[in-house]
């Protein structure tokens, strides 16, 4: 059994909430390869040209190597 992890970073984006942005990033990564853990690194947002608020969250994701 491997004792090493691959670490990647993703930015999840949502117009609903920062939690939805996190779920989006982790779910997409898990569809590619099983996620072992994740850590929120940074939260930020912006206001779009249409005046909507967009949440952006950077997530560090760990995957166990086989």
Whole-structure pTM value? 0.87
Q: How much is the mean pLDDT over the chain? A: 95
What is Dmax (Cα atoms) for the chain? 50
pLDDT > 80? residue 33: yes
Query: Residue 63 in contact with residue 33, Cβ under 8 Å?
Result: yes
Instruction: Enter the CATH code of domain 5-64.
Output: 3.30.1660.10
Record the tokens describing residue 62, joined without a space.
């760990």
pLDDT score, position 48: 94
Kindly provide the residue ranges of all beta strands, DSSP E only, lying in the chain, ordered along the sequence.
5-14, 37-47, 53-64
Confidence label for 3 from pLDDT (cuts 50, 70 and 90): confident
Mean pLDDT of 6-34: 97
Confidence label for 2 from pLDDT (cuts 50, 70 and 90): low
Mean pLDDT of 48-62: 97
CA atoms in the 13 A half-sphere facing the CB of 37: 9
Record the tokens describing residue 21, joined without a space.
């942005």
């Amino acid at each position: 059994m491997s004792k090493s992890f691959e670490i990647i970073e993703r930015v999840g984006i949502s117009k609903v909430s920062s939690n939805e942005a996190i779920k989006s990033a982790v779910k997409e990564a898990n569809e590619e390869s099983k996620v072992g853990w994740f850590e929120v690194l940074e939260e930020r947002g912006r206001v779009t040209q249409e005046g909507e608020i967009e949440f952006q969250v950077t997530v560090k994701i760990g995957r166990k190597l086989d």
